[in-house]
Each structure stands twice: as C-alpha cells, then as structure tokens.
C-alpha cells in the first residue's frame, strides 16, 4: 500500500466497521478492515502483525464489546475489549507511526448535567460498559499522542443490532410499543459517522503530536430527541412506506428497568469538531430516511384526492 493513504479499520462486521470501508475508499484511501480470527484485539501479537501487514497511516478502532446490559454480569469481556484492546492498538499504532481514532460513547457521562456535554466535562460512567470505554479512552490518549477519541451516541444503521431494527421488528409483531421518553440524546447513523472519520483522516495523518486536531471530540446526530421521539420518527417513516404501525406509548425509565443504568440526558455538544475539523452534526432524520428506504422500501406515492359530491376530500 502507498504510505500516507492506507487506513486499517479494526472490526469487520460491526455497524461502524461496515460503513467505514466505503466512506474511506470514496475519500481516496486504501482501507482494509480486519477482525477475528485474523486480528483479535485482545491479542497483542495479532494486532502487531496486522499493523505490519497493512502499514497504516491511520488506524480506526471500530471494534468494541457493545452488549451494555450483559457487561453488568460479565465485566471481563467488556474490560478486555473496550479498555485492554484499545491500549494494545494504540501502542502498536504509535510504534508504527500511525495516527489513531478510538470511537467512544456518551455512556461515559452520568447524564446529570442537564445540558449537552462538552469535551471539557468530567466523565462519570454509571455502567460497566461506560467505565470500560472510559478506560479505553485514557489508555489510547496515553499510549498514542496522535490520537482522537470520538464520542458518539445511539449508533444505528440498516445492518447490525440497533434500536431502529428492533423497532421495525417489533412493529411487525405487536399491537403496542412502549418506549422510554425520559432519556435524552441523539441517534447517530454509522454512515454519517464514517464520512466524518474519512473527512478528518487527511489532517490526522498530516498532523504532528500536540496538534489541536487530536484529543477528544463529540459527534452525534442532530436534533436531540428521546428514545420515544426516535421511535415515533421510525414508525412514521415506516408507515409512509406501507409498513404496519402499532400504537406507540411513552413510558418512563422506571417502567423499563435494565441491568445497566443509562444516563438520563447524554446529549453531546458537537461544537468542537465543527470548529476544529469543520464537521457539522449530521441530521439523523435524513439518515433515517435513507435507512428506511433500504429496510422497508421507497415512500409510497401520495394517494390522489377523492372527488366527493361536496368537493375535494382527503
């Protein structure tokens, strides 16, 4: 591969990993995605071999243990993959001379601020998953000074396990969906996040350690909403494409207990990435339309107005 244009994506079949390859290639990079069994993030030898083989100018870590609730009972895989793995990768990328992007999460915050979180706010995770991702952030920043920690939230895509696909599946099966309305945040579509990473890539590859291009950044979709608001938009968009639409009921977090505690308000302030990298928070409603076109089909043509004796009626 030509030096300076090669990007190693760690993780192969995940939501973000799948979106990164086309986005990076469209931006002119020679991108390779590697995952198990060729690259196991918990195994230093396999990580170093992958870096030597792909000779990257930039490494993007899209692999993680994302089973938030399971991590409460099984903390070890989350800690190994979300904290230990990024440390190994950051070490290998620094030794090779590559910059690195570590993707992280809004769940590093406790959700009590009452306003969107900036990169200067102190993290205080309330779950094992959040704590393991925060440990990964610290490890990467310490091991590779030419690194970006990119926090995002509510990741979705037309593939993989996510809220969008769960809502569509349950909408086919149930008469009523009950969705939490008192947790605030924002959906972020993997293809938008991937384009943002591809946009940052050239300047990360060129920048020296100490540049403001590195450090912690937030990028999530806009506008902010609740899980209930997101479900409403999904059902409305799906119904416009002829999908079955059940009744949607707003509930509280207390009515839907989960093993892991989620932040009640994890809205992310995305000003810094706009100022430093010129990347605006992507409108998730546009990305949702794209995903629904793929998952459900195109929007149905509006029915022609029926002529009644009195005149035009809907």
Ligand X SMILES: NC(=O)c1ccc[n+]([C@@H]2O[C@H](COP(=O)([O-])OP(=O)(O)OC[C@H]3O[C@@H](n4cnc5c(N)ncnc54)[C@H](OP(=O)(O)O)[C@@H]3O)[C@@H](O)[C@H]2O)c1
Question: Which runs of consecutive H residues, i.e. helices, occur in 63-189?
Answer: 70-73, 75-79, 85-96, 128-143, 163-173
Q: Which of 66, 127, 225, 226 binds ligand X (CB under 6 A)?
A: 66
The sign one gets for the Cα dihedral 263, 189, 218, 77 is positive
Given 107, 117, 129, 256, the catalytic residue: 129
**Stretch of residues binding ligand X (CB under 6 A), selected from 13-21, 194-202, 288-296, 301-309:** 13-21
Is-catalytic flag, 138?
Answer: no
Q: Which of 117, 154, 217, 230 binds ligand X (CB under 6 A)?
A: 154
Q: By CB under 6 A, what part of segment 69-98 binds ligand X?
A: 81
Q: Residue 84 and residue 65: Cα distance in Å, rounded?
A: 11
Rounded to a whole number of angstroms, the minimum distance from the CB of residue 81 to ligand X is 5
Q: Which of 6, 54, 93, 105 binds ligand X (CB under 6 A)?
A: 105
User: Can you tell me which residue has the tokens 């207990």?
Assistant: 257
Q: Residue 189 and residue 15: Cα distance in Å, rounded?
A: 9
**Stretch of residues binding ligand X (CB under 6 A), selected from 15-23, 178-186, 227-235, 248-256:** 15-23
Q: Which of 9, 11, 177, 192 binds ligand X (CB under 6 A)?
A: 11
Q: Residue 36 and residue 54: Cα distance in Å, rounded?
A: 16
| Closer of 63 and 281 to ligand X (Cβ) | 63
| Closer of 41 and 99 to ligand X (Cβ) | 41
Q: Residue 206 and residue 221: Cα distance in Å, rounded?
A: 27
Rounded to a whole number of angstroms, the minimum distance from the CB of residue 60 to ligand X is 10
* Closest residue to ligand X: CB criterion: 14
Q: Residue 66 and residue 43: Cα distance in Å, rounded?
A: 19
**Stretch of residues binding ligand X (CB under 6 A), selected from 87-95, 152-160, 230-238, 303-311:** 152-160
Cα 302 to Cα 110, 234, 289, 293, 298: the distances in Å are: 45, 19, 17, 16, 12
| Closer of 5 and 89 to ligand X (Cβ) | 89
Residue (of 266, 269, 276) closest to 105 by Cα position:
266
63 binds ligand X (CB under 6 A): yes
Q: Residue 48 and residue 157: Cα distance in Å, rounded?
A: 30
By CB under 6 A, the count of residues binding ligand X is 26
Q: Residue 84 and residue 107: Cα distance in Å, rounded?
A: 18
Q: Residue 132 and residue 147: Cα distance in Å, rounded?
A: 18
- Please, are residues 102 and 147 in contact by the beta-carbon 8 Å criterion? yes
Question: Which runs of consecutive H residues, i.e. helices, occur in 266-312?
Answer: 271-277, 284-295
152 binds ligand X (CB under 6 A): yes
Site pattern 16..55 for ligand X (x: CB under 6 A): xx-----------------xx--xxxx-------------
| Closer of 5 and 153 to ligand X (Cβ) | 153
| Closer of 66 and 93 to ligand X (Cβ) | 66
Rounded to a whole number of angstroms, the minimum distance from the CB of residue 256 to ligand X is 17
List the Cα angle 82/56/150 in 5-degree steps.
Answer: 40
Residues near ligand X, by CB under 6 A: 11-17, 35-36, 39-42, 62-64, 66, 81, 103, 105, 133, 152-155, 160
Where in the sequence numbering do the catalytic residues fall?
129
């Amino acid at each position: 591969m030509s030096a300076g244009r090669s990007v190693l994506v760690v993780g192969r079949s995940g939501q973000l990993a799948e979106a990164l390859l086309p986005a990076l290639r469209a931006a002119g990079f020679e991108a390779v995605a590697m995952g198990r069994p060729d690259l196991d993030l918990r195994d230093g030898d396999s990580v170093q071999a992958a870096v030597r083989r792909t000779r990257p100018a930039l490494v993007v870590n899209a692999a993680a243990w994302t089973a938030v609730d399971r991590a409460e009972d099984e903390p070890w895989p989350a800690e190994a993959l979300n904290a230990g793995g990024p440390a190994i990768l950051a070490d290998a990328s620094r030794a090779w001379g590559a910059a690195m992007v570590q993707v992280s999460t809004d769940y590093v915050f406790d959700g009590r601020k009452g306003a969107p979180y900036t990169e200067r706010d102190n993290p205080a995770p309330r779950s094992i998953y959040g704590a393991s991702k925060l440990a990964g952030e610290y490890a990467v920043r310490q091991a590779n000074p030419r690194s970006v920690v990119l926090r995002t939230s509510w990741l979705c895509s037309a593939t993989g396990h996510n809220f969008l696909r769960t809502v569509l599946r349950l909408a086919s099966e149930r008469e009523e969906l009950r969705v939490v309305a008192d947790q605030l945040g924002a959906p972020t579509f993997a293809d938008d996040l991937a384009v943002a990473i591809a946009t940052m890539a050239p300047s990360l590859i060129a920048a020296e350690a100490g540049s403001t291009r590195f450090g912690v950044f937030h990028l999530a979709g806009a506008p902010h909403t609740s899980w209930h608001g997101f479900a409403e938009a999904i059902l409305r968009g799906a119904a416009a494409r002829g999908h079955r639409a059940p009744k949607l009921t707003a509930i509280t977090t207390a009515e839907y207990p989960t093993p892991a505690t989620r932040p009640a308000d994890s809205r992310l302030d995305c000003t810094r990435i706009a100022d430093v990298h010129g990347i605006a928070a992507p409108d998730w409603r546009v990305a949702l339309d794209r995903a629904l076109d793929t998952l459900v089909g195109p929007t149905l043509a509006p029915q022609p107005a029926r002529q009644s004796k009195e005149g035009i009626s809907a």
